[in-house]
Structure 1
Amino acid sequence: MVLWFYGLTVKDKRSEIGRTHCRDFFMRAFTREFTIQPLRRAIALATISSLGTFNALSQESIEEPVNESVRLEEIIVTATKREENMQDLPQSIQAFGADDIKTLGFSNMREYKKSIPSLSTVQNSPGRSEVVFRGVSTGSGEWRTDSGTAVYLGDIPMTSATQSVDPRLVDIQRVEALPGPQGTLFGSSSQSGALRIIPSAPDHSSLYGEINTGLSTIKEGDKSHYVEAWVNMPIIEDKLTVRAVVYDSKDGGYIDNVYGTNIFSDDDNSDVVEEDFNEWDQKGARVSALWSVNDSWDVNLMVMQQDQHSQGDWLSDPGAPGLDDLEIVRFHKDDRRDKWWISALNVTGDLGFAELSLTSSYLDREITYEFDANVDGQIRAQSVATYGTYIYYNVTYDTGFQPEISVNDQTAERFTHELRLSSTGDSRLKWMVGAFYEQTEDYWDYVFSQVENLDSTAFGAYWGLAYDTYFPNTDDWYSEEYSAKTTQTAVFSEMSYGLTDKLTATVGARWFEYERDRSEFKEWPRGNPYDTDIYEGDDSDTLFKFAVNYDISDDQMVYALYSEGFRLGGANSKKNPASRMPDRYDSDSLINKEVGLKSQWLDNRLQLNASFYSMEWDDIQRGITDPDDWSANATVNMGDAELSGAELSFTFVVNERLSLDATYSTNDSELQNDYYLSELISLSDPDNQDWLLGANGQEMAIAPPSKWWIGIEYKFPAVMEGVDGWVRYDHWWQEAMYHDWWSARDAMNLDPTVTGTKLIKDQGEANLQFGLYAEGDWSATLSIWNLWDDRNAQWIASWYDDSFGENGTWPDVNRYLNMPNYNQPRTIEISFTKTFGQ
């Protein structure tokens, strides 16, 4: 608390946009104009009164004797693939237990990311998130490169690039955030960190469970609801237990699709006009079975399925004439379904000298969507004369106005096997060795459709083909099929040794080898093969980890850490034989140097952890385009960057009633040199084509320079007979950041469009909760999410800034420019939980 209140600061490259210090932002939240809305005024008075009560009670606690039973609970994590106290590990970790998840109302990634200082995400709609630790990102839109952050469900890897799997948090034991490279234990994609969601395991002790339901309403939006239930059920005493989870939720919309016309004609969207048209449904189930074969061996089988269905658009177009913050003009209602299921088998055995663990898992995921691509179609129709004559209003080939859509059918399969042998006992030497095998298969069928327009010879005219050339009766003017298969093998080991009673050294290493096969097949239109590309490649490397920690006392420890992370390389698609793009790109790597403190004070009532890091990101993977062929794009290794910062977390149990939480992070990221296109490919016109791809000193994208979160909770015992109460206020804030690589580059030239509309500006959000509970029986909570109804952009779509607006081809068109994905407006929720058997 003291640290953030007195202002840890970082290098500020954007002072020209008037950024406000976080302390001022926090105070401003309590001094806003309350005369506009009675609800705001009532909320503010209640909140300020509560904070006044907190302050008085905290003063009383200083004067009164401390109850010796008031202590911080020990948090056991498996960040090192063995159970250990979080405070004993020489690395930065943040963890939320089952009670934290329930109290804070976490159900998905967009909620718990706010409380993790080093974690950022970009989300343009539910289920389409990019996860970033410590600012290690080139921005959204890197579809073909691997993710830089690993996502795990227990020991099951579920990582994907810009569409991270986001399991709903029902009956979850713990969420672990591991910032910084985790390559030796978690392998590829854990380059910048790992996010682990740990489900609750079956428990032989007794029959118990929970039912949870909630209803909410969104300001100027629709209603939402959810139902969740889980049960732990012993079948054979001390031998076989089943734990089952089911859930069903519906999030109402708040974006209005309003009436509008086509950009270049008078055709309108009247058939799809709808209020609150962005809806999200999520349902799923999970079943785990634990079989204790004997005192030494356990077998755990888990199966889980989740189905997400979103409709509408989470983007809005507030810069368009006549449109408000939460309005847009669309000609097709987007529809996206993301369905996945996993199965996992874990066998553990006590061998006496060590524990053996074998985990095998299978992930199957299918994503289908139809998105509005009408704006792209209009731009093409106006840009290419021949194209325009047959798509829009040609006398011979006029088929009427037909909105264009993009269609995607994507599947992914992942087989993984991991074998670990870990030492047991209290020896000075702790060791672990393991082997890992993974095979992934990805398939995309990506199509642009212009309904009823391609079954004519006009398409042949566009391509300069003879009119009698055969084309199938198809609505798909572009089709792309992409498939990739990656096989990875690794062996790893980690060993720690107590050099003295206070000093411990840790060494880890991982050797990996991978082979990646990729093929890409295109048809323009479907049925007319344009190009086929096949590539095979492989590589191998070794990563290392070194750490040393010193126990100042039983409750304070300092450490130093060196760790490495990586992403796999891959192959590029050569869309035509003359393409100058490189055949492949190599792995990029991240080296982390970190020092930190783990500490507890005041009889373990106050916990303060801090880490300070410096990282080197080498051979950054980045996408480029051939200036002579717009369809020829590729991933290249381009340059190095340095990132440094700090992470702090603070928890203080003032007394039996009052507790405080806070986290804070800083991040300073810089590209190390200017990088030009000519350094990567040969150019036909160097004087006009040698574009600046990266500017010396530019920040990384999705890398807020600072971020903080605070929580204040107070408990009211015996509100009524057998019932206690509580109230909690949470507030998070982050500094402005760039949403993509090009915005960060252009900002180095002080481009006003970047520092204005393209910047994801400073933002914050507050929550207020009131609850009642009867221990072990029931609880009820009133929650006000986004208390002050702040409007925060989670992401900005700037696809058309070269076409529209002041600097575009059509400067008079001021629509579809820098479209933000705003957070959900103020939401009031009532939830009720019933427990049994406990």
Structure 2
Amino acid sequence: MGTNVRKLQIKTSQLGGHVGVASAALIAASMWAPSATAQEAPSADEALATDIVVTANKREERVSRVGGSVVAVSGAKLEERSATSLQDYLALIPGISIQSQGAAGWGVVQIRGVSSQNVSAATATYIDEIPVGASSSTVRSNFYTVDLDPADLERVEVLKGPQGTLYGASSMGGVIKYVTRRPSLTDTEIRASEDFYVVEGGDIGTKLRASLSTPLVEGKAAVRVSGYYRRDAGYIDNLQLGRRDINKGDAWGVRGSLFFKPVETVSVALTGLYQQSKYGGLAVIDLDQNTLEPRDRDLSQRRYVPEPFSAKNLLLSAEIKWESGAGTLISATSFSQSRPKDSTDFTEYYNGFFGVALDNPFSNNGRRHATDKITQELRFNSSRLGAVEFIVGGYYTHEKLSDVQAYEFMGPDFRPDPTQDPLGLAERNGQLDEYAAFVNATVYLSEDFDLTGGYRHARIDQQGTRRDSGLLFGESASAYSISEDADTFLAGLRWRATDNILFYARAASGYRPGASRGVPPGAPPGFADFYTSDSLWSYEAGVKATGLNGRFSAELSGFWIDWSDIQTLIPIDMVIVSGNAGTARSRGFEALASYMPVRGLTLSGNVSYTDSRFTEDNAATGVLDGDRLYYVPKWRALASADYNFAVGNLDATIGGEVSYTSNVLDLTRFPLPSYTMIGLHAGIKKDNLSVNFYVKNLTNRRAWTGSSGYYPDFFYQPSIVQPRTLGVTFSQKF
């Protein structure tokens, strides 16, 4: 047995994708599993590409050695699956999902049952070293997650569980981290791809992507530029206005990066990124409230006023690294802007609520949000200093925020009617400043066993103004100023039982800042004009293992999360405001595995179970002890197979995946049914040219991926997954 372990140690460096966790018994069994025939057995150089190097702990390490649950999906995998949006990325990862509101960039992310129950994000988003998106709830940050096109991605990392000590506020559920491709100081590379697809019952879509990376001064300076354009196909018809494929849209973006290394110990990366998208409507259908059958016909809705959605994102960043024998000093500076904008037809609700005829003026609920964010992080990543290594640093962010929500009467041109006062107008302007200091340290008690501790202290100051007017909100104006301190903690251990088996345990805390709120008419006496921060503790244990000369990897983890002072939505008459609603608990497990039984064939699968429930009654929200949290599927599973083989002088591949998502509750506690999705792909490659064919949603399932709500006496409005889609992608690399 000792000899086998030594052989596995030699091949560990060749592993590469989700390295995972399994029990020691599973690994022991896998080591002695029957192997393929000598003719079919994969060589040592054909180990699984599952042990990707990640930066989850803000230092480079293989995912199989991270003492926590981290999953990384490579850019190559995203290209192979013809991924377009965050919803495509997360479909490959257990324990995480996004409930779409009907357009890319508009949806609620949940990780391990920690799903925002109000309008403030519970998951942090990073692009390389830079946090993007608002920490404040002022701009409804839970709904507007930065959705980066995979045009120039090295990989996407998902860090599960609270990451408060290293990633700060609003990372209580976890972190989604986009890692972009960097310029090469030595090689010139040109990439291009063209994708064409057709949606059953809809129109034709297009994706065009290109990138160039080249040295400017060999070994000293390089540049990388990339861009993309997407024409996203529509497939929903608005019968009221007689418009077809109203959810079609355009998205484009550019990115440029300059990388300098004037001396061996200093590097500078300057990056600029801009992307925008615009959709004429949402992928939302109308169902009869009683039968849940189409209100009119398949893939249709009735809207008296269009419901467009658009988003613009800008990021400018500078990352500077100085390396020394003691460690690396890192400065990460950024300026970012986010401009999401959406609109909801309010006509039928208005007429139903107030009991008037539909020939009255049409009405609309329009929302405009703006975030300008500056961040600065300075930290020192030490080298291994005897038995200790550590990270220590400071962080500052300044957010300038604006939010306008207007319920307005609309004219025949679908613009606000200037002759009528709005039904309701809510304006919020504010700013958030966060100051934080943090430290993480690891002590190696032996080469096989270490302990990690972390601590972060943050000070968050918020101030701003509110103004409400109109029938829905009443007349009021006020200013606010809120300050709070927050502490987060981390404790973990790792034990390398063998060179191929890692056990770990982790306890960590996380938090979200509180915020100001308006006091609506009808609020009970003593109703405060603010709500407090919420926090949680997460406890996790797992095992990661590899075997069979790198042809097998697996991961198994279990978790328990206690959530306090949950930020949620509280209905008061016709108005819904944010507040705190008691406690909740989330518990479950996740398992991943990959296996290469014969040369070229890779079998992979994952499954997650999450049981997340409120643990006390709350009269304000009507929540009872034992009620499920919103947006959280109890089960998610995926099985995939990929086979690579030669056809003459061509490399060919064929594969597919089947995924399952169990039902979830929307914010009105209406259940969205479970669904199963099937995808297929096949391709050929010669040298640097490739062609890939794919089918998404093979069975043409009308899966509900989110909802705009269930309204008694009206209808139900679920967002749905794209119908059966057939496409082809051409890729070139020079």
TM-score, normalising length: structure 1: 0.78
Structure 1 position 290, deviation (Å): 0.4
- Asked whether 1:695 is paired with 2:624, we answer yes
- Asked whether 1:152 is paired with 2:152, we answer no
- Asked whether 1:730 is paired with 2:657, we answer yes
8 Å Cα contact 2:284/2:719 also seen in 1:
yes
Q: Which residue pairs with 1:305 in the alignment?
A: 274
Structure 1 position 169, deviation (Å): 0.9
Residues in 1 aligned to 2:524 and 2:479: alpha-carbon distance in whole angstroms: 14
8 Å Cα contact 1:533/1:575 also seen in 2:
no
Query: Where do 1:469-618 residues align within 5 Å?
Result: 473-474=419-420, 476-524=422-470, 530-575=475-520, 580=525, 581-618=527-564
Query: For 1:378, what is the secondary structure of its paired residue?
Result: helix
Residue identity in the other structure for 1:617? W
8 Å Cα contact 2:594/2:603 also seen in 1:
yes
Structure 1 position 104, deviation (Å): 2.3
- Residue 111 of structure 2: which of 133, 144, 160 is its match? 133
Query: Where do 1:209-358 residues align within 5 Å?
Result: 209-258=190-239, 269=240, 272-319=241-288, 323-358=296-331
Residues in 2 aligned to 1:537 and 1:507: alpha-carbon distance in whole angstroms: 30
Deviations 1:511-532 (A, max 9, x none): 1110111321123289x99210
- Residue 362 of structure 1: which of 309, 330, 335 is its match? 335
8 Å Cα contact 2:442/2:453 also seen in 1:
yes
- Asked whether 1:372 is paired with 2:345, we answer yes
Q: Which residue pairs with 2:381 in the alignment?
A: 422
Query: For 1:100, what is the secondary structure of its paired residue?
Result: helix
Residues in 2 aligned to 1:285 and 1:784: alpha-carbon distance in whole angstroms: 28
- Residue 104 of structure 1: which of 68, 81, 103 is its match? 81
- Residue 639 of structure 1: which of 579, 582, 589 is its match? 582
Which has the bigger relative contact order, CA under 8 A and spacing at least 6? 2
Provide closer, same or farther for how the CA distance between residues 452 and 322 of structure 1 changes in structure 2, counting only shifts above 3 A. closer
Structure 1 position 440, deviation (Å): 1.0
Structure 1 position 421, deviation (Å): 0.3
Residue identity in the other structure for 1:486? L
Q: Which residue pairs with 2:707 in the alignment?
A: 796
Structure 1 position 253, deviation (Å): 0.9
Aligned residues: 683
Structure 1 position 709, deviation (Å): 0.8
8 Å Cα contact 1:254/1:278 also seen in 2:
yes
- Asked whether 1:197 is paired with 2:178, we answer yes
Structure 1 position 575, deviation (Å): 3.9
Deviations 1:244-298 (A, max 9, x none): 110000111111212xxxxxxxxxx3xx212222112110000000011211111
Structure 1 position 425, deviation (Å): 4.5
Query: For 1:102, what is the secondary structure of its paired residue?
Result: helix
8 Å Cα contact 2:286/2:295 also seen in 1:
no
Residues in 2 aligned to 1:637 and 1:177: alpha-carbon distance in whole angstroms: 28
8 Å Cα contact 1:214/1:832 also seen in 2:
yes
Query: Where do 1:679-690 residues align within 5 Å?
Result: none
8 Å Cα contact 1:308/1:337 also seen in 2:
yes
Residues in 2 aligned to 1:407 and 1:821: alpha-carbon distance in whole angstroms: 19
Residues in 2 aligned to 1:730 and 1:643: alpha-carbon distance in whole angstroms: 28
Query: Where do 1:8-27 residues align within 5 Å?
Result: none
> Structure 2: which 5+ residue stretches go unaligned?
1-33, 134-140
Q: Which residue pairs with 1:264 in the alignment?
A: none
Q: Which residue pairs with 1:122 in the alignment?
A: 99
Query: Where do 1:59-98 residues align within 5 Å?
Result: 61=37, 64-73=40-49, 74-98=51-75
Find the structure with the greater CA-based Rg.
1
Q: Which residue pairs with 2:8 in the alignment?
A: none
Provide closer, same or farther for how the CA distance between residues 473 and 796 of structure 1 changes in structure 2, counting only shifts above 3 A. closer
Provide closer, same or farther for how the CA distance between residues 613 and 203 of structure 1 changes in structure 2, counting only shifts above 3 A. same
TM-score, normalising length: structure 2: 0.89
Residues in 2 aligned to 1:707 and 1:820: alpha-carbon distance in whole angstroms: 20
Deviations 1:471-490 (A, max 9, x none): 98455343221112111111
Residue identity in the other structure for 1:545? L
Residue identity in the other structure for 1:148? A
8 Å Cα contact 1:582/1:636 also seen in 2:
no
Residues in 2 aligned to 1:105 and 1:676: alpha-carbon distance in whole angstroms: 46
Residue identity in the other structure for 2:438? F
Residues in 1 aligned to 2:310 and 2:409: alpha-carbon distance in whole angstroms: 22
Structure 1 position 357, deviation (Å): 0.3
- Asked whether 1:676 is paired with 2:619, we answer yes
Q: Which residue pairs with 1:433 in the alignment?
A: 392
Residues in 2 aligned to 1:322 and 1:731: alpha-carbon distance in whole angstroms: 30
Structure 1 position 204, deviation (Å): 0.4
Residues in 2 aligned to 1:104 and 1:79: alpha-carbon distance in whole angstroms: 24
Query: For 1:675, what is the secondary structure of its paired residue?
Result: coil
8 Å Cα contact 2:238/2:301 also seen in 1:
yes
Structure 1 position 406, deviation (Å): 2.3
Residues in 1 aligned to 2:565 and 2:423: alpha-carbon distance in whole angstroms: 37
Structure 1 position 351, deviation (Å): 2.8
Residues in 1 aligned to 2:542 and 2:682: alpha-carbon distance in whole angstroms: 36
Residue identity in the other structure for 1:639? G
8 Å Cα contact 2:562/2:585 also seen in 1:
yes
Structure 1 position 335, deviation (Å): 1.9
Residue identity in the other structure for 1:85? R
Residue identity in the other structure for 2:682? F
Residues in 2 aligned to 1:820 and 1:407: alpha-carbon distance in whole angstroms: 19
Provide closer, same or farther for how the CA distance between residues 120 and 493 of structure 1 changes in structure 2, counting only shifts above 3 A. same
Deviations 1:330-361 (A, max 9, x none): 11222222111110011100132110000011
Query: For 2:91, what is the secondary structure of its paired residue?
Result: helix
- Residue 163 of structure 1: which of 116, 120, 144 is its match? 144
- Residue 444 of structure 1: which of 393, 403, 407 is its match? 403
Residues in 2 aligned to 1:203 and 1:642: alpha-carbon distance in whole angstroms: 46
8 Å Cα contact 1:226/1:247 also seen in 2:
yes
Query: For 1:541, what is the secondary structure of its paired residue?
Result: strand
Query: For 2:166, what is the secondary structure of its paired residue?
Result: helix
Q: Which residue pairs with 2:726 in the alignment?
A: 828
Residues in 2 aligned to 1:234 and 1:793: alpha-carbon distance in whole angstroms: 47
Query: For 1:375, what is the secondary structure of its paired residue?
Result: helix
8 Å Cα contact 2:144/2:340 also seen in 1:
no
Q: Which residue pairs with 1:21 in the alignment?
A: none
Q: Which residue pairs with 2:22 in the alignment?
A: none
Query: For 2:76, what is the secondary structure of its paired residue?
Result: helix
Residue identity in the other structure for 1:92? S
Residue identity in the other structure for 1:375? E
Provide closer, same or farther for how the CA distance between residues 818 and 577 of structure 1 changes in structure 2, counting only shifts above 3 A. closer
Residues in 2 aligned to 1:65 and 1:623: alpha-carbon distance in whole angstroms: 57
Task: Tell me the percent identity.
Answer: 23
8 Å Cα contact 2:36/2:598 also seen in 1:
no
- Asked whether 1:412 is paired with 2:371, we answer yes
8 Å Cα contact 2:313/2:339 also seen in 1:
yes
Alignment RMSD (CA, Å): 2.2
8 Å Cα contact 2:474/2:520 also seen in 1:
no
Residue identity in the other structure for 1:703? V
Provide closer, same or farther for how the CA distance between residues 761 and 364 of structure 1 changes in structure 2, counting only shifts above 3 A. same
Residues in 1 aligned to 2:544 and 2:213: alpha-carbon distance in whole angstroms: 35
Which stretch shows the higher mean deviation, 444-453 or 790-799?
A: 444-453
Query: For 1:278, what is the secondary structure of its paired residue?
Result: coil
Structure 1 position 426, deviation (Å): 7.1
Residues in 1 aligned to 2:521 and 2:675: alpha-carbon distance in whole angstroms: 45
8 Å Cα contact 1:318/1:327 also seen in 2:
no
Structure 1 position 778, deviation (Å): 0.7
8 Å Cα contact 2:591/2:608 also seen in 1:
yes
Residue identity in the other structure for 1:205? T
Provide closer, same or farther for how the CA distance between residues 422 and 191 of structure 1 changes in structure 2, counting only shifts above 3 A. same
Structure 1 position 818, deviation (Å): 1.9
